[in-house]
């Protein structure tokens, strides 16, 4: 169980901070909820405590994890199939996994593909979404500003 002030990742949404744990009545049912605030985008989400595992809520990575992300971004794996539809589905599964390392793979591979051959509109949107997920976690993990993380990503993906 997480506590107020913990930095956590909510897959497909990004990283945020647990602001409160509150009892709320929703649809006639009273439950405890994490109130999660996402610093990027200034959004709040309520997640039932009993659903934390099902939704894949996890802690933000540590310094060792940051170094692994940097390594992945420097040396991405192959982008897989030449078929954009298969590649899109594979990348979507990686993003849904909640793993920052798989999200970093998606960012690295799509950024390089965009540079080399360009991306379809769907893949460009996916790259932006994966990038935002990655940035949100690195901002909280490094306790830094968004522009510093964006500058780091630009250098790593150049």
Tens of pLDDT, residues 145-157: 999 999 999 999 9
Residues in the chain: 158
Task: Tell how strand 14-26 and strand 7-10 pair up.
Answer: antiparallel
* Mean local confidence (pLDDT), 20-36: 93
User: Strand, coil or helix: what is 48?
Assistant: strand
Based on its alpha-carbon atoms, the radius of gyration of the chain, rounded to whole angstroms, reads 17
Residue, of 118 and 32, whose pLDDT is higher: 32
Q: Tens digits of per-residue pLDDT, 41-59? A: 778 999 999 988 889 899 9
Residue 79: the pLDDT is 57
Q: What is the mean pLDDT of the chain?
A: 91
CA distance 77 to 73: 9
* Ordered structural domains, the chain, with CATH: 7-59 (2.40.10.170), 63-157 (1.20.58.1290)
Task: Please state the rounded mean pLDDT for residues 19-24.
Answer: 95
Among candidates 67, 68, 113, which has minimal Cα distance to 90? 113
Query: Are the CB atoms for 34 and 44 separated by under 8 Å?
Result: no
């Amino acid at each position: 169980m997480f506590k107020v002030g913990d930095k956590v990742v909510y897959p497909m949404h990004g990283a945020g901070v647990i602001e409160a744990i509150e009892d709320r009545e929703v649809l006639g049912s009273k439950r405890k909820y994490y109130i999660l605030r996402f610093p990027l985008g200034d959004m709040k989400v309520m997640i039932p405590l009993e659903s934390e595992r099902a939704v894949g809520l996890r802690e933000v990575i540590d310094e060792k994890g940051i170094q692994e992300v940097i390594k992945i971004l420097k040396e991405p794996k192959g982008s897989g199939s030449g078929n954009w539809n298969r590649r899109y589905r594979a990348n979507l599964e990686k993003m849904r996994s909640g793993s920052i390392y798989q999200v970093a793979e998606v960012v690295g591979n799509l950024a390089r593909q965009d540079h080399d051959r360009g991306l379809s509109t769907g893949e460009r949107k996916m790259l932006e979404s994966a990038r935002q997920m990655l940035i949100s976690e690195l901002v909280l993990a490094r306790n830094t500003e968004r522009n510093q993380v964006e500058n780091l990503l630009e250098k790593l993906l150049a």
